C-alpha cells in the first residue's frame, strides 16, 4: 500500500511523516477507557527513513497497526512538497496544488492507495489579496485529488478548518451545522470540502483548528519570539477555540485511517453506507478538548515556557478585543468544534488542549 503525504514540510505533514514512520508519542492517551497506551517514541525528529524518496515500512507483528500507525503489513510512505524537496533539501515527490496537470502526472507516477492531503494555502490574511491562488490550492485541488482517487480506487484524507463557520454559534459546532465562511481562506477551504465530496471518492475530511507545533509558522512560535523581545504583549481575548497540536492531528489521523481501511466490522458507531456497504467516510471534527482564547493560550504558553526554562522571564499579557487588533481577514469569534462524532465513531479520547502544549514546550526546551 502506498500512502502519499502532500505538504510534507507543513506542520501537519511533517508530523504525519513522523507518526507513520515510527511509533506515536507515548504521552497522548488516544484510546478511550480500557485501551492500551501507545508505545514510546524511538527518536526525535523525522526518522531518517522518512526523508527523501519513497521507502518501505514493515509492520512488525501488528505493533504499529495497534498503535495507529501504518497498516496493512507493508506500506510505502511517499512524501511530497510543492518544490519537490523536504526542508533539509532532500529530494522528494513534487505535488503543487496550484498545478492540476502536474498533480495528475504525479498521481499517475506515484499511484497512491491513500492520499493524505496536508498541503494547503494557509496564509489567511494574504488570501484576501490572492483569492484565485487560494481557490486553486484549497478549493479546486481537493477535487482533482478526489477525481483521480475515484478513477483509481484510492482514498483521500483531507484537512479542513473551523473557518468554514462564521463563529456566531453559542455551542460547539457539529459537522452538519450550516457553514458560512467569513474570509477568502474560509471560502476556499469550504469549496475544497465540497469538491472532494462531489468527486465521489472514498474520503475523510478532518476539520481542525488553531494548529501549532514546535516548528513551522504558528501562534505559539510567534508569541514566544515576541515574548522574548517585549515586556508587555496585548493579545486577543474574545476569540475562543481549542489549540490543537499537529502531532495530535497526525496521531489521530493514523489511528482513524487504520480503522477506516480495516474490514467494516472493525468500525464503531453509526456508519453510512456506500453501494450497500457500510462506510466510515465523511466529515469529522478533530480538535482537543476544552477551550480558551488566544490570550489564555498565550498566558499558558509563557507559564510553561518559563517553568521549562525556555524563557528567563515571562512578559505581561494584556487582554484586548478583536476590534483593537484589526487584521485583513475576518476570523470567527467562536471556533469551538464538537468532536463527539470522531470520538464515538473511532473510539478516540481527545486530550485537553493543555496536554499537547506541555509536549510541544518540552520538545522546544530539549531541542
Ligand X SMILES: NC(=O)c1ccc[n+]([C@@H]2O[C@H](COP(=O)([O-])OP(=O)(O)OC[C@H]3O[C@@H](n4cnc5c(N)ncnc54)[C@H](OP(=O)(O)O)[C@@H]3O)[C@@H](O)[C@H]2O)c1
Residue nearest to ligand X (CB): 10
Rounded CA separation 155/1 (Å): 11
Q: From the candidates 159, 163, 185, 212, give the one annotated as an active-site residue.
A: 185
Binding residue (CB under 6 A) for ligand X from 96, 166, 193, 359: 96
Can you list the pairs that 90-96 forms with residues at least 24 positions away whose Cβ atoms lie under 8 Å?
Answer: 90/51, 90/52, 91/52, 91/53, 92/8, 92/51, 92/52, 92/53, 93/4, 93/53, 93/54, 95/4, 95/6, 95/119
Shortest distance, position 163 Cβ to ligand X, whole Å: 7
86 binds ligand X (CB under 6 A): no
> x/- binding map, residues 45-84, to ligand X, per CB under 6 A?
-------------------------------------x--
23 binds ligand X (CB under 6 A): no
335 binds ligand X (CB under 6 A): no
11 binds ligand X (CB under 6 A): yes
Nearer to ligand X, 242 or 317 (CB): 242
Name the segment binding ligand X (CB under 6 A); options: 35-43, 205-213, 304-312, 341-349: 205-213
The residues that bridge with 241 in the sheet, in sequence order, are 292
118 binds ligand X (CB under 6 A): yes
Rounded CA separation 123/129 (Å): 10
Shortest distance, position 239 Cβ to ligand X, whole Å: 12
Nearer to ligand X, 294 or 346 (CB): 294
Nearer to ligand X, 95 or 235 (CB): 95
Q: Dig out the grid coordinates for 99 from the structure.
A: 498545478
Nearer to ligand X, 65 or 214 (CB): 214
10 binds ligand X (CB under 6 A): yes
Name the segment binding ligand X (CB under 6 A); options: 9-17, 25-33, 41-49, 268-276: 9-17
216 binds ligand X (CB under 6 A): yes
8 A C-beta contact, residue 119 and residue 160:
no
8 A C-beta contact, residue 177 and residue 224:
no
Shortest distance, position 232 Cβ to ligand X, whole Å: 25
Binding residue (CB under 6 A) for ligand X from 25, 135, 137, 345: 137
Active-site residue flag, 284 = no
Q: What would you measure as the largest C-alpha separation in the chain, in angstroms?
A: 62
How many residues contact ligand X, by CB under 6 A? 27
Rounded CA separation 235/320 (Å): 6
> Would you please indicate which residues are annotated as catalytic (active-site) residues?
185
Question: Which residues here bind ligand X, judged by CB under 6 A?
Answer: 7, 9-13, 82, 95-98, 118-122, 137, 159, 161, 189, 208-211, 216-217, 246
Amino acid at each position: 500500500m502506498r500512502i502519499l503525504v502532500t505538504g510534507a514540510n507543513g506542520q501537519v505533514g511533517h508530523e504525519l511523516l513522523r507518526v507513520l514512520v515510527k511509533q506515536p508519542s507515548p504521552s497522548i492517551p488516544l484510546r478511550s477507557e480500557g485501551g492500551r497506551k501507545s508505545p514510546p517514541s524511538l527518536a526525535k525528529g523525522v526518522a531518517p527513513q522518512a526523508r527523501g524518496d519513497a521507502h518501505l515500512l514493515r509492520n512488525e507483528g501488528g505493533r504499529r497497526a495497534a498503535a495507529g500507525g501504518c497498516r496493512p503489513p507493508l506500506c510505502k510512505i511517499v512524501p511530497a512538497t510543492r518544490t519537490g524537496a523536504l526542508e533539509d533539501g532532500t529530494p522528494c515527490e513534487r505535488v503543487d496544488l496550484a498545478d492540476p496537470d502536474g498533480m495528475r502526472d504525479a498521481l499517475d507516477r506515484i499511484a497512491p492507495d491513500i492520499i493524505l492531503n496536508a498541503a494547503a494555502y494557509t496564509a489567511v490574511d494574504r488570501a484576501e489579496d490572492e483569492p484565485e491562488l487560494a481557490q486553486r490550492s484549497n478549493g479546486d485541488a481537493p477535487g482533482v485529488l478526489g477525481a483521480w482517487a475515484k478513477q483509481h480506487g484510492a482514498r483521500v484524507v483531507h484537512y479542513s478548518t473551523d473557518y468554514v463557520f462564521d463563529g456566531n454559534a453559542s455551542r460547539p459546532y457539529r459537522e452538519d451545522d450550516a457553514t458560512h465562511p467569513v474570509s477568502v481562506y474560509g471560502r476556499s477551504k469550504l469549496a475544497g470540502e465540497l469538491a472532494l465530496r462531489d468527486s465521489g471518492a472514498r474520503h475523510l475530511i478532518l476539520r481542525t483548528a488553531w494548529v501549532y507545533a514546535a516548528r513551522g509558522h504558528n501562534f505559539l512560535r510567534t508569541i514566544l519570539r515576541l515574548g522574548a523581545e517585549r515586556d508587555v504583549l496585548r493579545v486577543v481575548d474574545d476569540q475562543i477555540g481549542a489549540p490543537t497540536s499537529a502531532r495530535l492531528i497526525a496521531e489521530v489521523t493514523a489511528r482513524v485511517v487504520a480503522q477506516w481501511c480495516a474490514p467494516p466490522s472493525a468500525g464503531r458507531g453509526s456508519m453510512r453506507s456506500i453501494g450497500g456497504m457500510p462506510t466510515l467516510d465523511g466529515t469529522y471534527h478533530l480538535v482537543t478538548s476544552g477551550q480558551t482564547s488566544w490570550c489564555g493560550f498565550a498566558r499558558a504558553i509563557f507559564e510553561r515556557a518559563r517553568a521549562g526554562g525556555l524563557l528567563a522571564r515571562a512578559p505581561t499579557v494584556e487582554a484586548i478585543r478583536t476590534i483593537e487588533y484589526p487584521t485583513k481577514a475576518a476570523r470567527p469569534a467562536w471556533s469551538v468544534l464538537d468532536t463527539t462524532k470522531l470520538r464515538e465513531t473511532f473510539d478516540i479520547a481527545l486530550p485537553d488542549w493543555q496536554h499537547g502544549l506541555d509536549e510541544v514546550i518540552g520538545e522546544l526546551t530539549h531541542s
